[in-house]
């Protein structure tokens, strides 16, 4: 340890003054936050608060109108292999003609790069990931025949196959059975013990304080971010979920109006 | 109208023509067949991605949108030069897809309306140009009229080289980018987060689709060209759950229908090729809809029937088994009928099923189980008891509720589930 001023290690994810619009209407205003390493972080807020939008714009899936995102001090484009992503389950067509193993193998494509096909090593990794989520027996099944919880586990196995330092998960607990919910949180804790950073969009306030080390409370703007015991308080929850946001939504409508 | 043809003459003529076609000895047949082969391979491959990405309507739009480009490509040289026609078609297809995007962004119309709009607009311009070409002296022999409904016999050897080169581009690119294309089609968001250039892939697919349309247009015609993209892939999706097999089957269905359609249109040089190819494709689809091993309507009905026959058969087996357990080792058919509340004739017909399986023997009117039959009956009895126990112990159903469920499930329980049930109860009894 040096005593002189050493530049601090860059945080896993730093969001600076991020404003994002959806269909010309601003849905996130000036988000400024820096996530600490090795924590399970919950993103909570009411419907339409921009929780998924925040995750998607961190992942570069939605263009930012202003502001930037850095991953360990660098733009995401250079750090893609450090970030794993678990999209919402409904975002894909589960009738697609692929097997469970095919989907999990997709997690290895980032490292494989163009033109290279997954080989024996990737297959073994994928079987191991399926085992971790308790889906080893389903490897050759077609994905259409899976239950909601099983589908979520497949998505998690794919994320595990990415072997990333940071994971962004969009509503992984929605519509899954109790056993899957328990399995997921157990998996998240295992990943945390390996000092990985987990950002999880969540909507269930009952389980939130139990699951997350820190929380980001969001309602179009950042309401609060900090350790769970500090921010999961009645006044802040009221501020997040209360109806005091008419001015912001009204402004968003007007911004959209001038652009259409 | 068609009844005026001398039928007998037609038939003998048709047969020799048919043989002439399938022997592939004619140069003309070879050229046409090769052309159809190339178009089936390229459209069949691309079609899978178009259908899975829900771009079917776009494929149709592009099919119609190439017409003005094809006509302008013709007008440049005043002859059917394949390279000019392909270039014209591509420009026209890109213009159409750009226009679709442009109108989408600047109005509140949804994409189906915009595609319909652009499709018909381009097609209108194209038909106008086509009519005009046919009026000019050189246009009469242009061979462009085959472009509407397809005339495979109008494919020249020079066309074949162009078609071959373009098919190679399509198949080569799809094979090289197969993994990325599948990923981007299944989960575009995830693909983009790991750095797959999803937008580029999307435009590449549109470009390749335009090329596939151009390849197909001479043989099947631009009105029906979307069928070559959509139907083989849709049929393949009914047949299999694996992406690779979907692509292979799609190509095979396309090739098969192409050849059959071509052979029919070959019987009479006035028959356009497109309708017969598309008709064959539709028939293949109907066949798959009914008889696809897993999802076919008829196949499912057959499976259900087999299951109900099995239940009936095994219930009779159980009745015999239970009446045997009481007394002697043979039972009268009439007693069995009383027991099962069925007529002796019904019992006899089910009993013959047991005999065919080698589960029972009939001596006079005495029914007897064989060793195999006895084993299966014991197994069923055990499954029944296991399930009953599971329902009462773990689901906590009152005993009078369990019987009916157990009666049905015992025929269905697979060996794995039975072992698991056994393990559960053995554990408890230890």
What percent of chain B stands above pLDDT 70?
91
Mean pLDDT along residues B277-292: 92
In a domain, B5, yes or no: no
Whether residues B79 and B173 share a domain: the answer is: yes
What's the CATH code of the domain at B337? 1.10.10
DSSP string covering B363-389: ETTEEEE-HHHHHHHHHHHHHHHHHHH
Task: List the single best residue of A86, A89, A98, A259 to mutate versus B (max B Cβ within 10 A).
Answer: A98
Residue contact B180–A97, C-beta within 8 A: no
Three-state secondary structure call for residue A134: coil
Residue contact B240–A93, C-beta within 8 A: no
Task: Output the pLDDT for position B166.
Answer: 92
Q: Please check whether residue A46 is in contact with residue A240, taking contact to mean a CB–CB distance below 8 angstroms.
A: yes
Domain count, chain B: 3
Contact of B180 with chain A, judged by CB distance below 8 Å, is answered with yes
Residue A5 has pLDDT above 70, yes or no: no
Extract the tokens encoding A105: 């193998």
HSE-CB at B17 with a 13 A cutoff on CA atoms is 14
Contact of A92 with chain B, judged by CB distance below 8 Å, is answered with yes
Extract the tokens encoding B18: 């048919």
pLDDT 10s digits, A187-245 = 999 999 999 999 999 988 889 999 999 999 998 899 999 999 999 988 888 888 876 55
Three-state secondary structure call for residue B306: helix
Contact of A30 with chain B, judged by CB distance below 8 Å, is answered with no
Whether residues B407 and B283 share a domain: the answer is: no
Of the two residues B324 and A80, the one the predictor is more confident about is A80
Mean pLDDT along residues B370-388: 82
Task: Output the pLDDT for position A238.
Answer: 87
The CA dihedral of B4, B8, B11, B13, to the nearest 10 degrees, is: -90
Whether residues B291 and B310 share a domain: the answer is: no
Residue contact A99–B189, C-beta within 8 A: no
Task: Output the pLDDT for position B2.
Answer: 42
Residue among B183, B184, B179, B188 at smallest CA distance from A59: B188
Q: Which residues of A touch B189 (CB under 8 A)?
A: 56, 59, 61, 85, 87, 91
Of the two residues B41 and B385, the one the predictor is more confident about is B41
Extract the tokens encoding A143: 């994905």
Whether residues B93 and B222 share a domain: the answer is: yes
Whether residues B97 and B206 share a domain: the answer is: yes
Q: Directed axis angle between helix B56-65 and helix B111-135, to 10°?
A: 20
In a domain, B329, yes or no: yes
In a domain, B397, yes or no: yes
Whether residues B139 and B222 share a domain: the answer is: yes
Residue among B289, B286, B291, B288 at smallest CA distance from B303: B291
Whether residues B224 and B291 share a domain: the answer is: yes
Nearest by CB to A97, from B192, B193, B246: name it. B246
d(CA A94, CA A108) in angstroms, rounded, equals: 20
Contact of A106 with chain B, judged by CB distance below 8 Å, is answered with yes
Residue matched to tokens 């919880």: A149
Task: Output the pLDDT for position B167.
Answer: 94
Q: Please check whether residue B64 is in contact with residue B119, taking contact to mean a CB–CB distance below 8 angstroms.
A: yes
In a domain, B112, yes or no: yes
The chain A residue lying nearest B182, using CA atoms, is: A98
Q: Which residues of B touch A115 (CB under 8 A)?
A: 176
Q: Which residues of B touch A112 (CB under 8 A)?
A: 179
B window 51-80, beta carbon within 8 A of A:
52
Q: What are phi and psi of A231, to 5 degrees?
A: -100, -20
d(CA A247, CA A215) in angstroms, rounded, equals: 24
Whether residues B140 and B262 share a domain: the answer is: yes
Contact of B176 with chain A, judged by CB distance below 8 Å, is answered with yes
Average the pLDDT over each of A8-17, A116-125, B101-110, B293-302 and give the range with the smallest value. B293-302
Domain coverage including residue B316: 301-369
Task: Output the pLDDT for position A256.
Answer: 75
**Strand boundaries in B255-399, DSSP class E:** 331-332, 360-363, 366-369
Q: Which residues contact B254 (CB under 8 A, 6 or more apart)?
A: B39, B40, B41, B43, B44, B47, B228, B232, B281
In a domain, B102, yes or no: yes
Q: Please check whether residue A138 is in contact with residue A155, taking contact to mean a CB–CB distance below 8 angstroms.
A: no
Contact of B187 with chain A, judged by CB distance below 8 Å, is answered with yes
Tally: H helices and E strands in chain A: 11, 10
Q: Please check whether residue A134 is in contact with residue A128, taking contact to mean a CB–CB distance below 8 angstroms.
A: no
Q: What are phi and psi of B221, to 5 degrees?
A: 85, 150
Whether residues B315 and B415 share a domain: the answer is: no
What percent of chain A stands above pLDDT 70?
94
d(CA A236, CA A224) in angstroms, rounded, equals: 7
Residue B407 has pLDDT above 80, yes or no: no
CATH number belonging to the domain at A13-251, selected among 3.30.950.10, 3.90.1150.10, 3.40.50.300, 3.40.50.720 = 3.40.50.300
Q: Which residues contact A23 (CB under 8 A, 6 or more apart)?
A: A256
What's the CATH code of the domain at B406? 1.10.60.10
d(CA A33, CA A30) in angstroms, rounded, equals: 10
Whether residues B75 and B167 share a domain: the answer is: yes
Confidence band for A157, pLDDT divided at 50, 70 and 90: very high
Average the pLDDT over each of A156-165, B74-83, B203-212, B335-344 and give the range with the smallest value. B335-344
Residue contact B190–A114, C-beta within 8 A: no
Whether residues B232 and B329 share a domain: the answer is: no
d(CA A222, CA A231) in angstroms, rounded, equals: 12
What's the CATH code of the domain at B104? 1.10.3470.10
Task: Output the pLDDT for position B429.
Answer: 55
How close A171 gets to chain B, by Cα (Å)? 15
Confidence band for A164, pLDDT divided at 50, 70 and 90: very high
Strands A74-75 and A83-86: unpaired
In a domain, B17, yes or no: no
Extract the tokens encoding A189: 């804790």
Residue contact B186–A98, C-beta within 8 A: yes
Residue B11 has pLDDT above 70, yes or no: no
Whether residues B102 and B70 share a domain: the answer is: yes
In a domain, B15, yes or no: no
Extract the tokens encoding B19: 């043989």
Q: Which residues of B touch A77 (CB under 8 A)?
A: 195
Confidence band for B8, pLDDT divided at 50, 70 and 90: very low
pTM of the model: 0.82
End-to-end CA separation in angstroms for chain B: 85
Extract the tokens encoding A246: 């008419």
Task: Output the pLDDT for position B1.
Answer: 37
Mean residue pLDDT across chain B: 83
């Amino acid at each position: 340890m040096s005593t002189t001023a050493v530049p601090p290690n860059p945080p896993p994810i730093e969001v600076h003054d991020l404003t994002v619009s959806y269909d010309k209407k601003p849905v996130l205003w000036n988000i400024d936050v820096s996530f600490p390493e090795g924590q399970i972080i919950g993103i909570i807020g009411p419907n339409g608060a921009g929780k998924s939008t925040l995750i998607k714009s961190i992942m570069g899936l939605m263009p930012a109108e202003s502001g930037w995102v850095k991953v360990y001090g660098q733009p995401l484009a250079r750090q893609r292999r450090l970030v794993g992503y678990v999209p919402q389950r409904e975002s894909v067509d589960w009738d697609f003609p692929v097997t469970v193993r095919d989907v999990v193998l997709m997690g290895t494509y980032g490292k494989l790069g163009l033109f290279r096909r997954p080989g024996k090593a990737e297959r073994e990794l994928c079987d191991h990931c399926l085992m971790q989520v308790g889906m080893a027996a389903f490897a050759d099944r077609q994905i259409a025949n899976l239950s909601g919880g099983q589908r979520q586990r497949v998505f998690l196995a794919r994320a595990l196959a990415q072997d990333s330092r940071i994971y962004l998960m969009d509503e992984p607990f929605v519509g899954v059975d109790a056993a899957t919910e328990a399995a997921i949180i157990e998996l998240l804790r295992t990943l945390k013990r390996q000092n990985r950073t987990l950002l999880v969009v969540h909507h269930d306030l009952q389980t939130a304080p139990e699951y997350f080390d820190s929380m980001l409370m969001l309602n179009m703007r950042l309401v609060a971010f900090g350790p769970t015991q500090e921010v999961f308080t009645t006044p802040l929850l009221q501020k997040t979920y209360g109806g005091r946001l008419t001015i912001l939504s009204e402004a968003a409508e007007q911004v959209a109006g001038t652009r259409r | 109208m068609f009844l005026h043809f001398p039928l007998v003459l037609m038939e003998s003529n048709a047969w020799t023509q048919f043989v002439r076609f399938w022997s592939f000895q004619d140069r003309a047949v070879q050229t046409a067949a090769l052309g159809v082969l190339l178009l089936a391979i390229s459209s069949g491959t691309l079609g899978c991605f178009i259908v899975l990405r829900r771009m079917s309507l776009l494929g149709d739009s592009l099919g119609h949108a190439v017409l003005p480009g094809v006509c302008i490509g013709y007008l440049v040289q005043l002859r059917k030069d394949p390279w000019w026609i392909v270039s014209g078609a591509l420009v026209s297809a890109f213009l159409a897809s750009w226009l679709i995007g442009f109108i989408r962004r600047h109005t509140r119309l949804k994409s189906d309306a915009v595609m319909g709009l652009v499709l018909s607009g381009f097609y209108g311009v194209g038909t106008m140009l086509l009519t005009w070409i046919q009026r000019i002296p050189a246009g009469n022999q242009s061979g462009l009229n085959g472009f509407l409904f397809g005339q495979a016999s109008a494919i020249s050897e020079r066309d074949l080289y162009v078609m071959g080169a373009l098919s190679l581009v399509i198949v080569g690119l799809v094979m090289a980018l197969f993994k990325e294309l599948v990923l981007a089609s299944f989960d575009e968001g995830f693909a983009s987060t790991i750095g797959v250039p999803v937008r580029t892939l999307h435009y590449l697919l549109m470009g390749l689709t335009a090329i596939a349309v151009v390849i197909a247009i001479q043989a099947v015609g631009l009105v029906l060209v979307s069928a070559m993209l959509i139907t083989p892939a849709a049929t393949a999706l009914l047949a299999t759950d694996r992406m690779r097999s979907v692509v292979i089957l799609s190509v095979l269905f396309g090739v098969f229908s192409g050849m059959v359609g071509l052979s029919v249109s070959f019987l009479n040089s006035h028959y356009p090729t497109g309708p017969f190819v598309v008709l064959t494709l539709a028939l293949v689809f109907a066949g798959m809809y009914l008889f696809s091993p897993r999802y076919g309507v008829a196949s499912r009905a057959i499976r259900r029937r087999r299951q109900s026959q099995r239940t009936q058969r095994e219930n009779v087996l159980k009745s015999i088994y239970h009446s045997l357990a009481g007394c002697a080792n043979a039972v009268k058919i009439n007693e069995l009928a009383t027991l099962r509340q069925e007529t002796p004739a019904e019992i006899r017909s089910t009993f013959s099923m047991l005999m065919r399986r080698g589960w029972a023997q009939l001596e006079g009117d005495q029914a007897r189980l064989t060793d195999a039959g006895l084993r299966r009956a014991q197994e069923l009895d055990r499954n029944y008891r296991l399930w009953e126990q599971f329902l009462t112990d773990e689901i906590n159903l009152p005993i009078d509720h369990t019987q009916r469920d157990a009666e049905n499930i015992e025929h269905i329980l697979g060996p794995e589930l039975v072992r698991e049930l056994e393990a559960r109860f053995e554990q408890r009894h230890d």
